[in-house]
Chains A and B, each alone.
Chain A
Amino acid sequence: DAMVIQNPRYQVTQFGKPVTLSCSQTLNHNVMYWYQQKSSQAPKLLFHYYDKDFNNEADTPDNFQSRRPNTSFCFLDIRSPGLGDTAMYLCATSRDRAGNRIITVEQYFGPGTRLTVT
């Protein structure tokens, strides 16, 4: 079955120690997203890739970076995690068929990586 896969599902890292979360998809979607979801809150968009074009949200901290080496894979790098970065990190994908660069099309989420910073 086509799907969005995230690894690892659980990650514990120390304060200030860089961490990388990965996402892969077999849907062949051209848009990939990273969201941060803190406990009892809604997902919050960090950034997205439209094909190879990176789009950062204005309020995403510089501490968060992303890489998309190919259509299938996307990585979230947290350079110096703080205690406040403890959260669920969700990857999502969508296909923008119209080419209008509108990202409100249906997004499909992975199972998430729960990150704990100690």
Chain B
Amino acid sequence: GQQLNQSPQSMFIQEGEDVSMNCTSSSIFNTWLWYKQDPGEGPVLLIALYKAGELTSNGRLTAQFGTTRKDSFLNISASIPSDVGIYFCAGGKKLTFGTGTRLTIIP
């Protein structure tokens, strides 16, 4: 089956820093979605990508659909405390979820 690997697994950053994470697939995807999940809550859709090479922003978040169609990237600029959570990429015919990246902000 499809596998999505996210990296890094976890990040510890200071407030104000920029964040980059990525997701790679073992097969070609037609859609990439990025979600954020807070503890005890459901995932919230951040950005949806539908075209290879597409670059889409949502406030301080920017995501890109890789040109190989097997990867995607998410960047967060000038991180703030409410960015803390787990970020999941998702894609593929049955919306497979990646392994997640846990973001922690060090005071």
By a CB distance below 8 angstroms, the chain B residues around A102 are: 93
> Could you tell me if A45 and B98 are in contact, using CB atoms closer than 8 angstroms?
no
Report the contact-size class of chain A (Cβ under 8 Å from the partner): 20 to 34
Q: For the complex, is B63 an interface residue (Cβ under 8 Å from A)? A: no
> Which chain A residues numbered 70 to 102 have a C-beta less than 8 Å away from chain B?
88, 90, 92, 102
Select one of A44, A45, A108, A114 contacting B45, CB under 8 A: A108
Contact with A along B56-96 (1 / 0, CB 8 A): 00000000000000000000000000000000100111110
Interface size on B, residues (CB 8 A): 22
> Could you tell me if B88 and A42 are in contact, using CB atoms closer than 8 angstroms?
yes
A32 to B34, CA, bound (A): 19
A102 to B95, CA, bound (A): 10
A106 to B98, CA, bound (A): 16
Q: For the complex, is B30 an interface residue (Cβ under 8 Å from A)? A: yes
Contact with A along B18-59 (1 / 0, CB 8 A): 000000000001110101000011111100100000000000
The verdict on A107 contacting B42 (CB below 8 Å), with A42-B88, A42-B100 known, is no
> Could you tell me if A112 and B41 are in contact, using CB atoms closer than 8 angstroms?
yes
A108 to B42, CA, bound (A): 9
Q: Shortest beta-carbon distance, B52 to chain A, in Å? A: 15
By a CB distance below 8 angstroms, the chain B residues around A43 are: 43, 88, 97
> Could you tell me if B100 and A109 are in contact, using CB atoms closer than 8 angstroms?
no
The chain B residues found within 8 Å of chain A, CB to CB, are 29-31, 33, 35, 40-45, 48, 88, 91-95, 97-100
* CB-based closest 7 A-B pairs: A109-B42, A42-B97, A104-B31, A112-B42, A109-B43, A111-B42, A106-B48
Mind listing 15 A-B residue pairs with CB under 8 Å? A6-B42, A42-B100, A43-B97, A44-B97, A45-B94, A45-B95, A103-B95, A104-B29, A104-B30, A106-B45, A109-B42, A109-B43, A111-B42, A112-B40, A112-B42
